[in-house]
Structure 1
Amino acid sequence: MGDLLNGSIPLPQEFYEQPTLELSKALLGCLLVKETKEGIAAGFIVETEAYIGPNDRAAHSYNNRRTKRTEVMFHQSGLVYTYVMHTHCLFNVVSGGEGNPEAVLVRALEPQSGIELMKSRRGMKELKSLTNGPGKLTKSVGITMEDYGRSLTSPPLFIAKGFRPESISTGKRIGIHNSGEARDYPWRFWVTNNQFVSRHQKT
């Protein structure tokens, strides 16, 4: 099962053990793959945001907040942290290592495989709007709260090598207005000029 999409295989555990800001950039261009009963859907990661608790007021783990929702963030890197916001499931990659609750939010994908399945799930035909947002991409590829705590090193949900971005842009994170000075941290990263990024301007 690991040999999917023309030889794409999951990245090793070591990939996820780099510092969170570095991982946020390293994930750009990688291929996110989800296998379901309906088929396989995949897309290249083109936008991420880093959340570095417990000193990051925008992070769910700020002040080492350990709850049923954030528990997985306190475990090893490379696990899936999903949560629901405004009825949408959002997908994060746990980082920081054991006891350091950090994560990378995946904000946008460039559709690569299973595009018709994605369109069916979203009830739309426009390719550009399928996955250009964190709630849109999870619905398109089939990521749900059932994926919480999975390891990304094996199917049905994994990340594989993709392409190397020619240029990476940096800006403020989105939608965290009530987080004090943390709202100004330049911890959003995206593939420069990629049409599937949720926002191109430095917000």
Structure 2
Amino acid sequence: MTRRAGGASDGAPPARSIVALARDELPVDTVALARFMVGKYLVHDLPEGRVSGRLVEVEAYPVGDSTGHAFIGPRGWNASLFLARGHAYVRLTYGVSWMLNMASEAAGVGAGVLFRAVEPLDGLTAMAARRPGAPLRELARGPGRLTQAFGVGAAFDGVDLCSGEGLWIGRDRELAANDASLVIGTTTRIGLSREIDRPLRFYVVGSPFVSGPRKLLASA
């Protein structure tokens, strides 16, 4: 299914033609999936228009990771992490911010990828309305800001991000699934007290929309 973004608006750069990612395109392995998702697109089609952006930072929470929400096994609240890869897992963190994750691995195996930051493209006015006073760079820089800008909350837990409708993930139809021109860096994850040295955070090198202290960003 192909979704074509509208023309450049709200001060956004020229929109790209985005095709929805099929589940078969998604690597099964969590770490491979996290790296694959860098440079892909997050889209939320609403009655009032499209909100979209390019994923510039993600974190992997693979099988057996003690910091992952799936580590304790399936429960009612984390059931979406055990769905087939490509389903959303949305969880309120610290009672304040919603976090958008995507299930990885095969159905029944709990693991996921956290979407940490997006470079905003379409729907900048809508994003700014949800994030009043925030400059462009800060609209979706960080997982809590991302969900706020995109209007994502508890209702999106369990949705199929490969559906091409509503909230979905996609890629530029004019580029290969793995964009060879994209420089992807690898570094450690942020805000953890355990397994803090694992290189499981992936980001677009040089992007101003990547979150966290600049000093933590290793070379590609």
Q: Select the residue among 68, 78, 93 that pairs with 2:86.
A: 78
Measure how far apart 1:2 and its partner are.
5.3
Aligned to 1:25, what secondary structure does the other structure show? helix
Match of residue 124 from structure 2:
115
Distance in 2, matches of 1:193 and 1:92, equals 23
Distance in 2, matches of 1:66 and 1:80, equals 15
User: Is the contact made by 1:47 and 1:107 (CA closer than 8 Å) also made in structure 2?
Assistant: yes
Distance in 2, matches of 1:2 and 1:89, equals 28
| Unmatched tracts of structure 1, length 5 or more | none
User: Is the contact made by 1:58 and 1:183 (CA closer than 8 Å) also made in structure 2?
Assistant: no
Match of residue 156 from structure 1:
166
Measure how far apart 1:125 and its partner are.
4.6
Match of residue 13 from structure 2:
none
User: Is the contact made by 1:74 and 1:101 (CA closer than 8 Å) also made in structure 2?
Assistant: yes
Q: Which runs of structure 2 are paired with 1:29-178 in the superposition (5 Å)?
A: 29-53=39-63, 55-63=64-72, 65-86=73-94, 87-154=96-163, 155-162=165-172, 164=179, 166-177=182-193
Distance in 2, matches of 1:135 and 1:38, equals 22
Aligned to 1:132, what secondary structure does the other structure show? coil
Read off the aligned partner of 1:202 and give its amino acid letter.
L
Aligned to 2:141, what secondary structure does the other structure show? coil
Which stretch shifts more, 137-146 or 158-167?
Answer: 158-167
How many residues matched? 198
Which stretch shifts more, 132-141 or 156-165?
Answer: 156-165
Distance in 2, matches of 1:142 and 1:186, equals 30
Read off the aligned partner of 2:137 and give its amino acid letter.
K
Match of residue 20 from structure 1:
30
Read off the aligned partner of 2:206 and give its amino acid letter.
N
CA offsets per residue over residues 170-191 of structure 1, 9 Å max, x none?
11111111x2xx2211100100
Measure how far apart 1:95 and its partner are.
0.3
Give the direction of change, closer, same or farther, for the CA distance of 1:189–1:201 in structure 2 (3 Å limit).
Answer: farther
Give the direction of change, closer, same or farther, for the CA distance of 1:38–1:144 in structure 2 (3 Å limit).
Answer: farther
**TM-score of the pair, normalised by structure 1:** 0.91
Distance in 1, matches of 2:4 and 2:102, equals 21
Measure how far apart 1:72 and its partner are.
1.3
Measure how far apart 1:17 and its partner are.
4.0
Distance in 2, matches of 1:19 and 1:152, equals 17
Q: Which is helix-richer, 1 or 2? A: 1
Measure how far apart 1:37 and its partner are.
3.4
Match of residue 191 from structure 1:
204
4+ residue runs of structure 1 moved beyond 6 angstroms? Answer: none
Match of residue 11 from structure 2:
none
Aligned to 2:50, what secondary structure does the other structure show? strand
User: Is the contact made by 2:161 and 2:167 (CA closer than 8 Å) also made in structure 1?
Assistant: yes
Distance in 1, matches of 2:114 and 2:215, equals 18
What is the RMSD computed on CA atoms of the aligned residues?
1.7
Measure how far apart 1:8 and its partner are.
1.9
Distance in 1, matches of 2:143 and 2:134, equals 18
Match of residue 10 from structure 2:
none
Distance in 2, matches of 1:79 and 1:51, equals 15
| Unmatched tracts of structure 2, length 5 or more | 7-16
User: Is the contact made by 2:56 and 2:210 (CA closer than 8 Å) also made in structure 1?
Assistant: yes
Distance in 1, matches of 2:149 and 2:48, equals 12
